Chain A
Amino acid sequence: MPEPLVRVENLKKYFPIKGIFFTRAHVKAVDGVSFEIYRGETLGLVGESGCGKSTTGRLLIRLLEPTAGHVYFEGKNIFKLKGEELKRFRRKAQIILQDPYSSLNPRMTIFEIINEALEVHNIKVPDKEEFIVDWLRRVGLERHHLYRYPHEFSGGQRQRIAIVRSLIIKPEFVVLDEPTSALDVSVQAQILDMLKEFQRELNLTYLFISHDLGVVKYMSDRIAVMYLGKIVELAPADELFEKPLHPYTQMLLSSIPIPDPEYALKKPKVKVIGEPPSPINPPPGCRFHPRCPRKLDICDKKEPPLIEVERDHYVACWLYAKK
């Protein structure tokens, strides 16, 4: 096995809920996750809203400081980096956010927005304008777009600008946080294919965060499923869809509406029980047990460990663990 580019160890992030005088409680957004991302691969991270997938993405590029745990990038703990070293890390690890309406400064032209990235990271090129135009062309924009403002562009075009801003500084690792959730399907397909092409060309490593399982399957080599701050299953993309092991994964997969009316009639149904509980006071033991159709006695008492049940297929469920 090659050395992973990113290694996450027991990462936790609790957000305090402030009372009048002191902290009343914590939202346990991410509660002890460990995984690795290898160079050149795409790791998909799926889950429903509030499961902690975006918080995990932000921790991985140190936009947030963790409550506990470590993230190693090229072998170095990113939360200990300082000065020049931190700056170098910031160039290597980038993020592309969901909403291209709020991620671009409305008072700056496209040239200024992209140029800022080059300036901050001290990237010298002979002719900046030519260099940026060259990149804009690669995402289907033109020279005359250079001195326009973000409001003059459609959602899809803005996301392309955000992509250029992140990739022009030649990062190695990019967190894609729901990059197409705000876009229509015809535009989504354009952006996804573009991201795949850049990955091949620039040998990028992606963490692809989404709630859309179809999109995640299309983009990812491996997929991690999160539920209430924990990873419940991690497996190669095809295997996860063919042989989901965790009852939550099974429920999630059977919930996706499949764009095929014939399949819709014979689709295996897993009944969805209840709703996700609050991450402030997560249930004891396995966090999924109140909704689980296959609950055992141990499930509400002890937390199941994430174990490898088949090659590269990890699951955190007592059905598969030795007690």
Chain B
Amino acid sequence: MIKGMKTLGLKRKILEVKDLHVHFYTYAGVVKAISGVSFEIYEGETFCLVGETGCGKSVTSRAITKLIESPGKIVKGQVLFYRDGSPIDLLKLSDEELRRIRGREIAYIFQDPTAALDPLYSVGYQIAETMVAHNTATWKEAFRRAVDILKSVLIPDPEKRVKNYPHELSGGMKQRVVIGISLSNKPKLLIADEPTTAVDVTIQAQILDLLRKLRQEEKMTLLLITHNMGVVAEMCDRVAVMYAGKIVEIGTVHQIFKNPQHPYTKGLLKAVPNPLIKIEKLESIPGTVPNLIFPPSGCRFHPRCPRKLDICDKKEPPLIEVEEGHKVACWLYVK
């Protein structure tokens, strides 16, 4: 079976983002960080948001549970979370209601584990705290469970480690603890924002292995945010490629890697040196990522696009389906 196909047959949505807009009001002007992002995630799959710095992938993932702080603001859009089949709009909930969902039904893992952990508390306390805060355990029980959680994220000697403070652990271990915290309430959806960017490649392999194992055991849905095309290929079922605050292409991992359609996706795939292939010359994308205070008119990729048409700088291309489950926003494919 081709990777990613299984999720297409079994269509049970868990999350649906509709026409999301997030702006940042800075001194220099209004940064339109995300402009009209829509996608859905199905139960049990690993969905990836991939793109370069500043494309809006992290902002999108944070906006899902309103984790956007001033000067940022969610200007428009809906985030539907499907609880036992019926949708609720997360953006309409009060802070208190959202807090009950965040950390329990939707959990996060961020890039930097050192910033995610409090240096003044033992890791055991921090894991237990998550459970107590959501009333899923008493303190006593939570501490006991913290040991099991450390064991499940493959930390050696968990009985001793549970009393350790963050500074006593290596970067890889800290990230495991953060994963442990996020899993403590058995969330339905886990959002991992560049979980392996701060660690070395061998540790990255361990963490990715762990996430894969936990996803299967706990039957979680995973939203993975990354800039690394290799991680996408190894982890994901479906992928959305983002550029300058918009989704330019979306499809199964197979469709995106074997049959990319958007010139940006094509360029991105050719710019990554694959160590298994002999490459004479890397193909680079000319120019740089645009300024989102004054984004380019029409298609935001047109100033860098090798196949620009006349219409590209005038009108924005719609996201249209080119084959089953494969959508592209590019005038080349609009009839």
Contacts and interface: CB of A to CB of B under 8 A. Distances in A.
A261 B253 contact: yes
A241 interface: yes
B254 to A, nearest CB: 6
B232 A189 contact: no
Interface residues of A, number: 41
B282 A261 contact: no
B273 A241 contact: no
B217 interface: no
Given A189-B271, A257-B234, A275 B203 contact: yes
B227 A184 contact: yes
A252 interface: yes
Contact of A265 (B3, B272, B275): B3
Contact of A218 (B203, B282, B283): B282
Contacts of B278: 238
A262 B2 CA distance: 9
Interface string B200-221: 1111111011000000000000
Contacts of A152: none
Given A48-B200, A192-B282, A264 B233 contact: yes
A265 B273 CA distance: 19
Contacts of B229: 185, 259
B268 interface: yes
A272 B276 contact: no
B233 A214 contact: no
A214 B284 contact: no
Interface in A248-273: 251-265, 267, 272
Given A185-B268, A190-B286, A265-B3, 14 more contacts: A156-B288, A157-B288, A185-B52, A186-B267, A188-B271, A192-B273, A192-B282, A214-B230, A214-B272, A238-B278, A262-B258, A263-B276, A264-B234, A276-B200
8 contacts: A154-B289, A156-B288, A184-B227, A185-B271, A187-B288, A189-B282, A255-B205, A260-B274
Closest 7 CB pairs of A and B: A257-B230, A189-B284, A255-B205, A214-B273, A186-B285, A48-B200, A189-B271
